[in-house]
Amino acid sequence: AQTVTQSQPEMSVQEAETVTLSCTYDTSESDYYLFWYKQPPSRQMILVIRQEAYKQQNATENRFSVNFQKAAKSFSLKISDSQLGDAAMYFCAYRKARGDYKLSFGAGTTVTVRA
Amino acid sequence: GAGVSQSPSNKVTEKGKDVELRCDPISGHTALYWYRQRLGQGLEFLIYFQGNSAPDKSGLPSDRFSAERTGESVSTLTIQRTQQEDSAVYLCASSRAPGTGVGNEQFFGPGTRLTVL
């Protein structure tokens, strides 16, 4: 079974500053996908960024970037130039590349942005 | 509709009652997933549909939980004889297909908050 661990229940960041959220995972698979989802108070899960395990290059989406360390099974999310709208719960998720389509989620990190 | 919709948005019920939660996936999405999110926790997988068959029911916590899907459309999650431990947000997601492509992103609905008194 795959487990996803987010060790930071809460993080606070000043507006315009940078915050990094940690995620580690456990798997015996060599090919898989990793995701960061954002969940604001509306409960709507929004995909922020995805990473294919076979790609060495770290994914980037505007102000969001990841640091994917496959050997260490680590997948951190960096939010640059934080905005008030970034305040939400962030979940790290894992999915096998084949044979199993469900997402396995970490417990989440609540991000607060200070004005 | 443009996105995944779920109803009701909130449901309060008494212990022992049955409840039905509904999910309308994005049109054309063949794969549908149900997840449960307990307060302050991550999402737990419940069941996955491909069309109207459910090849993976491994996450259903007990035989009080069941789900069905009509064709490649609406799905209903039923919880019988609800218990207080069933209180959670139930989220539905759909994707174009369950294939391995990274493009088969799961799009989530806003969830149903179930409270069992």
Per-residue pLDDT of A44-63, as tens digits, reads: 899 999 999 998 899 999 99
The verdict on a CB contact (< 8 Å) between B43 and A4 is no
How far is residue A1's CA from residue A31's CA, in Å, rounded to a whole number? 15
Looking at residue B73, the DSSP 8-state letter turns out to be S
Residue-averaged pLDDT of chain B: 91
How far is residue A22's CA from residue A73's CA, in Å, rounded to a whole number? 11
Is domain B5-104 in CATH 2.60.40.420, yes or no?
A: no
Segment A69-88 mean pLDDT: 97
**C-beta neighbour count of B37 within 10 angstroms:** 22
Q: pLDDT band for position B97 (50/70/90)?
A: confident
Per-residue pLDDT of B31-88, as tens digits, reads: 999 999 998 888 999 999 988 888 889 899 999 999 999 877 999 999 999 999 999 9
pLDDT at B100: 53
Q: Which two tokens stand for residue A37?
A: 């989802």
Question: Considering only CB atoms, which chain A residues are within 8 Å of B106?
Answer: 103
Work out how many domains chain A is built from and give that number: 1
B79: exposed, middle or buried (Cβ count in 10 Å: 0-12, 13-18, 19+): buried
> By the 8 A CB rule, do A34 and A92 touch?
yes
pLDDT at B101: 59
Which of A43, A47, A102 shows the shortest C-beta gap to B48?
A: A102
Q: Which range of residues forms the domain containing residue A80? A: 3-114
Question: Considering only CB atoms, which chain A residues are within 8 Å of B93?
Answer: 45
pLDDT at A113: 97
Looking at residue B15, the DSSP 8-state letter turns out to be T
Question: Considering only CB atoms, which chain B residues are within 8 Å of A104?
Answer: 45
A97–B contact, CB cutoff 8 A: yes
Whether the predicted pLDDT of B22 surpasses 90 = yes
How far is residue B65's CA from residue B75's CA, in Å, rounded to a whole number? 13
Nearest to B21 by CA among B39, B42, B40, B35: B35
How far is residue B108's CA from residue B91's CA, in Å, rounded to a whole number? 7
Size of interface A-B (CB pairs under 8 A): 56
Question: Considering only CB atoms, which chain A residues are within 8 Å of B44?
Answer: 105
**Using alpha carbons only, how large is chain B's radius of gyration in Å?**
14
Residue-averaged pLDDT of chain A: 93
Question: Considering only CB atoms, which chain B residues are within 8 Å of A30?
Answer: none
Instruction: List, as ranges, residues 17-76 from A with C-beta within 8 Å of B.
Output: 33, 42-47, 50, 52
Per-residue pLDDT of A11-56, as tens digits, reads: 999 999 999 999 999 999 988 999 999 999 888 899 999 999 998 8
Whether the predicted pLDDT of A102 surpasses 90 = no
- Strand runs labelled E in B25-103: 31-37, 43-50, 53-56, 65-69, 75-79, 88-95
The verdict on a CB contact (< 8 Å) between B102 and A50 is yes
pLDDT at B99: 59
pLDDT at B104: 74
Q: Which CATH number goes with the domain that contains A98? A: 2.60.40.10
pLDDT at B117: 96
pLDDT at B55: 85
